[in-house]
């Protein structure tokens, strides 16, 4: 049975994949799309966009990233770089819609606080269904946070980025990341006391992955 591009090159690092793409193996960009679909989707949904708008923003981000790959200089991780592009696209779309960002004051924090979300090793179908239903409540609670706190919470707790990556993506200090994360947790903790799997929040269902790859690669071919 013939293996897919993703399967054949799944073990390659982002840098190796990018080098091959820049050397002429454009088809390998599929790996980048599949690898970062979940991250970009969660960023857009956390920003407040619905499923359709999130997918449009993802496509724009993947296409824009493809045509600017040569500008990636390894000063940060590729994940941070593409997330920053996604955040900028989210911001630009919000500006066009006259979206007003909420302002919030900062507080001191303790970066050693216990994570609000954690992955679980055991799979319980019944519990998973309950978590999925409760996850909708969590998503609503997250999107009600002021934007500054919401995006820090999303990148750190939902997307699993560390403090340095989050600070770089949002272009704020590491101390501000810690402060905003702490404040976001305090806002949510009164409603959310249980532990849920982070991947269940703003989940990008795999059924959407193939269509996204197809749309992005088609758009890139049209613009090339």
pLDDT of residue 133: 56
As a whole number of angstroms, the distance between CA 43 and CA 87 comes to 7
Residue 26: both structure tokens together:
């454009």
Domain ranges in the chain with CATH number 1.10.1740.10: 5-100+205-223
As a whole number of angstroms, the distance between CA 96 and CA 138 comes to 28
Task: Tell me the CATH class for 5-100+205-223.
Answer: mainly alpha
Q: Residues of 175-209 as b/e, b for ≥16 C-beta within 10 angstroms? A: ebbbbbbbbbbebbeeebeeebbbbbbbbbeeebb
CATH tag for 125-200 (out of 3.90.1580.10, 1.10.10.10, 1.10.10.970, 1.10.3720.10):
1.10.10.10
Q: What is the pLDDT of residues 19-45, one digit of tens each?
A: 999 999 999 999 999 999 999 999 999
Domain ranges in the chain with CATH number 1.10.10.10: 125-200
The CA–CA distances, whole Å, from 166 to 15, 100, 111, 171, 212 equal 20, 22, 13, 8, 25
Q: Tell whether the torsion through CA atoms of 7, 12, 85 and 162 is positive or negative.
A: positive
Q: Tell whether the torsion through CA atoms of 70, 34, 44 and 142 is positive or negative.
A: negative
Rounded to two decimals, what is the model's pTM?
0.68
Q: What is the pLDDT of residues 120-166, one digit of tens each?
A: 444 444 445 445 555 676 787 788 889 999 999 999 988 899 999 99
First to last CA, the chain: 32
Task: Give the pLDDT band of residue 190 (cuts 50, 70, 90).
Answer: low
């Amino acid at each position: 049975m013939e293996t897919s591009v993703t399967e054949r090159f799944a073990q390659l690092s982002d840098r190796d994949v990018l080098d091959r793409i820049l050397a002429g193996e454009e088809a390998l960009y599929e790996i980048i799309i599949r690898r970062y679909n979940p991250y970009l989707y969660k960023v857009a949904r956390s920003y407040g966009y619905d499923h359709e708008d999130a997918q449009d923003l993802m496509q724009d981000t993947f296409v824009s990233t493809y045509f600017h790959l040569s500008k990636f200089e390894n000063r940060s991780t590729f994940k941070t770089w593409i997330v920053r592009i996604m955040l900028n696209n989210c911001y630009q779309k919000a500006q066009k819609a006259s979206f007003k960002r909420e302002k919030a004051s900062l507080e001191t924090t303790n970066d050693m606080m216990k994570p609000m979300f954690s992955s679980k090793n055991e799979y319980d179908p019944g519990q998973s269904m309950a978590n999925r239903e409760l996850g909708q409540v969590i998503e609503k609670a997250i999107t009600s946070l002021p934007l500054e706190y919401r995006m820090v919470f999303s990148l750190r707790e939902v997307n699993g980025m560390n403090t340095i990556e989050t600070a770089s993506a949002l272009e704020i200090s590491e101390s501000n990341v810690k402060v905003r994360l702490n404040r976001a947790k305090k806002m949510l903790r009164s409603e959310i006391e249980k532990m849920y799997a982070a991947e269940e929040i703003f989940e990008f269902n795999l059924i959407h992955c193939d269509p996204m790859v197809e749309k992005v690669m088609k758009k890139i071919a049209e613009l090339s």
